[in-house]
Amino acid sequence: MSAPPAITTAPWEKVDEWSETAFENRFVTVKSDNAVYEDPDFLTEFRPLMPDGIDQSPRAVFTTGLTFDPPPPGDRTMEKLLAIAAKYASREFRKSLGEDGLRNVEQTGSQDLRLRGRRTAKAFQYDAGYPLNGEALAVPDADPVLSIRVWVAIWPKEDSFEMGGGIYPLENLADAVSRVGGKTDVTVTAQPGGDRREVLARIREAAE
């Protein structure tokens, strides 16, 4: 398995890594090598509220390396293909967030993200709902959801692309729990400004 881009900044620790075929037709096969990083203290506290089918907490970061077989033609650099790849990636990533269990996923923004060495990544913002474990909140018949935001960015390499991103809450956990009349001793305070800066910093780290 090829290695996805690495994140080494504390407190993030790699908790999962896997490879899969991201795209395949008779002309090309694209393999993705993926990694998820969590803050272990946050994950330990929040884990009881994670429902079946959700594998990461609502405050995590991730990276992906893409491999093309055969490699793209040499006369079309990856920089030239970035806009095309980004359009496809933004659509497929929104779809994958829904498949991963998030609710009402909507793309709510995009921007060019400056990287080191005068490079640029295409970044996309999504808003969604993160389902919570109703039984853990003492409301087993309710459907509690925490509002979250996800960023993902794609940037070119010599003969491929890499991606990175992260997820974070947009509201306090207490507000999501109170909407359904639940209760919990877990405290999650939304810090969207600080979390956004942290996610973008980890994207830049992964792209170094």
H or E element in which residue 92 lies = helix 78-99
- pLDDT value of residue 28: 83
- pLDDT value of residue 79: 85
Mean pLDDT of 171-184: 98
pLDDT at 90 over 80: yes
Task: List the chain domain ranges.
Answer: 13-206
Q: How far apart are CA 195 and CA 18, in angstroms?
A: 25
For 5, other C-beta atoms within 10 Å of its C-beta total 21
The pTM (predicted TM-score) of the whole model is 0.93
- pLDDT value of residue 37: 98
pLDDT at 148 over 80: yes
Q: What is the architecture, at CATH level 2, of domain 13-206?
A: 3-Layer(aba) Sandwich (3.40)
Strands (E), the chain: 13-24, 29-38, 60-69, 103-114, 120-131, 145-156, 161-169
Q: How far apart are CA 152 and CA 19, in angstroms?
A: 18
Q: What is the mean pLDDT of the chain?
A: 94
3-class SS shares of the chain: helix, strand, coil, % to 5: 30, 35, 35
Q: How would you label 180-191 residue by residue, b for 16+ Cβ within 10 Å and e otherwise?
A: bebebeeebebe
CA angle 139, 136, 53 (to 5 degrees): 105
pLDDT at 3 over 60: yes
Mean pLDDT of 129-133: 98
One-letter amino acid at 62 equals F
